[in-house]
Amino acid sequence: MSSSSYDIVTVGGGLAASAFAASMASKGMRVLVLEKELQFKDRVRGEYLGTWGVKEAQELGIQNTLLTSGATEIPFVEMGFGLRNLVETTSQRLPGVSFFHPEMQETLLGEAQRAGAEVRRGVSVTNVQTGPHPSVAAASNGREQTISARLIVIADGRGSVARKWAGFSTKNDAHPFHFAGVLLEGVSGRRDVCTFVFHPELGLVGGIVPQSKDRCRAYLGYPIDGGFTLQGSEKLGTFLAESKKVGPMFADCYANARSLGPLAAFDAGYTWVDHPYRDGVVLIGEAAAVSDPSFGQGMSLTLRDARVLRDAISNHSNWDQAGHSYAQQHDTYFQRIHTVCCWLRSLFQEQGPEADARRQRAMPRILEDGSRVPDHLFGGPELPLDEAVRARFFGEH
């Protein structure tokens, strides 16, 4: 069976696909979302959206939906340099926002549906065809269907298989770190502060993201040769013990913590596709680029993708040109974030004599003047990024 009555078909219905589908359906486009899961569960994903991502949510018109559906505004951030008020100190004048990821997937998929998109759950895409009439093969209840559209949007997440079917090849920048997360209750501490603190000598980064319902998402980044792993709920004791080494605040916060979900760890390396568009098929979200979760940039990038692709389509009647325009912009903003995160990691997380020497030179100057730290994690990829910014951060001036 074959059908081709759509402008856009998305492979996947996560944040990337649903944010994009909602914005295109609200412009009157015929959008079909194909999502394999009937119900979303906790896969341990991003739950803190930094300020430049909140701005993207505003631009996409979904910020209010997030806030009326269980998301919480978090105005403060603590990164070990003192409490920072993001509303007062970022160019966006916005707080960060936190939420439970599966709830937000449901909310945004509902938003896409309300905007007029057709959402089919329990449907697995099994193939993608590029070309003048791009199409997907979709399987559900033992039946397979070919569906064509003007544009196929691959948004099937970090382990994307669909991009291989469409002929994209990936690049990698491996880093010897893992990043683990678990949902906790009973965590003490302020509910309006998101904490991300590095312990450079141990190569650790601990994160606490308060959410509604008195829950917190706890994260820990750690070196793969640190002598422990954090995969599986039986490792909760190790997760808490290692987190407490990041600083005394973690020991206080986690004194009565109890787990509410799976504990899972992920590779912290980068995987991306250069120029994520070809022949009627475009990649967005983590299918286009996976960033190091230690720096919490994934969802901001994901919403940026949805917004840039939406705008490219609005500005070009030729959607092939729109796809290329999006892909060019994606290469630029993703690589800027990639560059900054690598600088931050080399100073705050890497271990060994060279890293120690970098810290000895840079840290006293940073402690005197925190503006030496590039602020792209909050300010976004458009902040200045050149040799002067790099040298100032590493204390070479």
Ligand X SMILES: Cc1cc2nc3c(=O)[nH]c(=O)nc-3n(C[C@H](O)[C@H](O)[C@H](O)COP(=O)(O)OP(=O)(O)OC[C@H]3O[C@@H](n4cnc5c(N)ncnc54)[C@H](O)[C@@H]3O)c2cc1C
Q: List interacting residues with ligand X (CB under 6 A).
A: 11-17, 34-37, 44-49, 53, 124-125, 155-158, 162, 179, 181, 266, 285-286, 293, 296-300, 302
CB of 160 to ligand X, least distance (A): 7
Min dist. Cβ of residue 331 to ligand X (A): 17
Whichever of 154 and 373 has its CB closer to ligand X, that residue is 154
Return the closest-CA partner of residue 17 out of 155, 160, 161, 162.
Answer: 155
Residues 266 and 179: beta-carbon distance below 8 Å = yes
Q: Which helix (H) or strand (E) holds 219?
A: strand 215-223
- Which residue in 152, 183, 196 sits closest to 341, CA to CA? 196
Provide the minimum distance between the beta carbon of 36 and ligand X in the complex, in angstroms, as a whole number. 4
Give the number of other CB atoms < 10 A from CB of residue 385: 17
> What are the structure tokens assigned to 47, written together?
């739950």
- In angstroms, the CA 389 to CA 394 distance is 9
Please name which of 272, 302, 257, 351 lies closest in space to residue 14, comparing C-alpha atoms: 302
C-beta of 245: minimal distance to ligand X in Å? 19
Distance of CA 249 to CAs 183, 190, 252, Å?
Answer: 18, 11, 5
Residue 183 or 355: the one with the smaller Cβ distance to ligand X is 183
Q: Are 276 and 298 in contact (CB under 8 A)?
A: no
Q: Which of 17/149 has CB closer to ligand X?
A: 17
How are beta strands 96-98 and 83-85 bridged, if at all? unpaired
Question: Could you identify the residue written with the tokens 């683990």?
Answer: 180
Q: How far is the CB of 239 from ligand X (least distance, A)?
A: 12
User: Least CB distance from residue 352 to ligand X, whole Å?
Assistant: 25
Q: CB-wise, 101 or 392, nearer to ligand X?
A: 101
Residue whose CB is less far from ligand X, 16 or 29: 16
**Which of 349/394 has CB closer to ligand X?**
349
147 close to 32: Cβ distance less than 8 angstroms: yes
What is the smallest separation between the CB atom of 116 and ligand X, expressed in angstroms?
20
d(CA 38, CA 300): 26
d(CA 243, CA 253): 10
CA gap 321, 318 in Å, rounded = 5
Nearer to ligand X, 6 or 48 (CB): 48
Say if CB 128 and CB 11 are below 8 A apart: yes
Residue 262: helix, strand or coil by DSSP?
coil
Of 45 and 199, the one with the shorter C-beta distance to ligand X is 45
Closest to ligand X by CB, 143 vs 397, is 143
